[in-house]
Amino acid sequence: MHEFWASFQQLLDAEELLRSGGFYLLLIVVFAETGLFFGFFLPGDYLLFLAGLFCASGLLPVSIYSLCGGLFFAAVLGNYTGYWFGRRTGPMLFKRKESLLFKQKYIVAAEEFYHKYGALALIVGRFMPIIRTFAPIFAGVVRVDIGRFSFLNISGAILWVGVLTLSGYFLGQRFPQIVDYIEYIIIGFISITTVPLVITVLRKSLKKNNKLEK
């Protein structure tokens, strides 16, 4: 049991994951977070950024071309898996019993986000935790045309991987000493990606309170 929790904590620690797990574990984590409903807790945005940073500093022994190509493939395949899962389970997903790794509020949040942004949710949602995992699943539930989904899936993966991984890579090349401030980078990414979700939750709570008062 101790070994299990140690491995679980390692998955949540992006820096440790990259240092000890390497390139292939990185691809598995990206695939799981973008395609499997229980992957919502895995590190996403800052994992890609750190991967580019570690690639530039030599801590991740793989070329930037192989890194971006592998991440793109994992992200695209992950979304296809999520889409297939949503298409197969359909409305039954909303009746699924909650568990440690599945909460109804996550699929509801993805539904609301999708209705707000339309098909662009599959691109914008790449940069938001939880939405990144459940948006392709919901797209499968509502049976988005596979051709349209493929275009948005590939476009979103290119943007997500390109912006975050290359940003980390070029910053690592320009400022090699930045690897000494990884903790601050992670805190910054968590803050940036979490704030929009917190604001959304607060707005929903305020709307409910206003309705109850009326």
Mean pLDDT of the region 33-56: 78
How many structural domains comprise the chain?
Answer: 1
Report pLDDT digits (tens) over 75-93.
Answer: 999 999 999 988 888 777 6
Instruction: Give the residue numbers spanning the domain of 208.
Output: 2-213
Cβ burial 82-120 (10 Å sphere, 16+ → b, else e): bbebbbebeeebeeeeeeeeebeebbebbbebbeeeeee
Question: Considering the entire predicted model, what is its pTM?
Answer: 0.76
Q: In this structure, which amino acid lies at residue 202?
A: L
Most confident region among 21-30, 95-104, 145-154, 204-213 by mean pLDDT: 145-154
Please name every residue paired with 99 in a beta bridge, in sequence order, or none if there are none.
Answer: 102
In the predicted structure, residue 203 carries a pLDDT above the cut 50:
yes
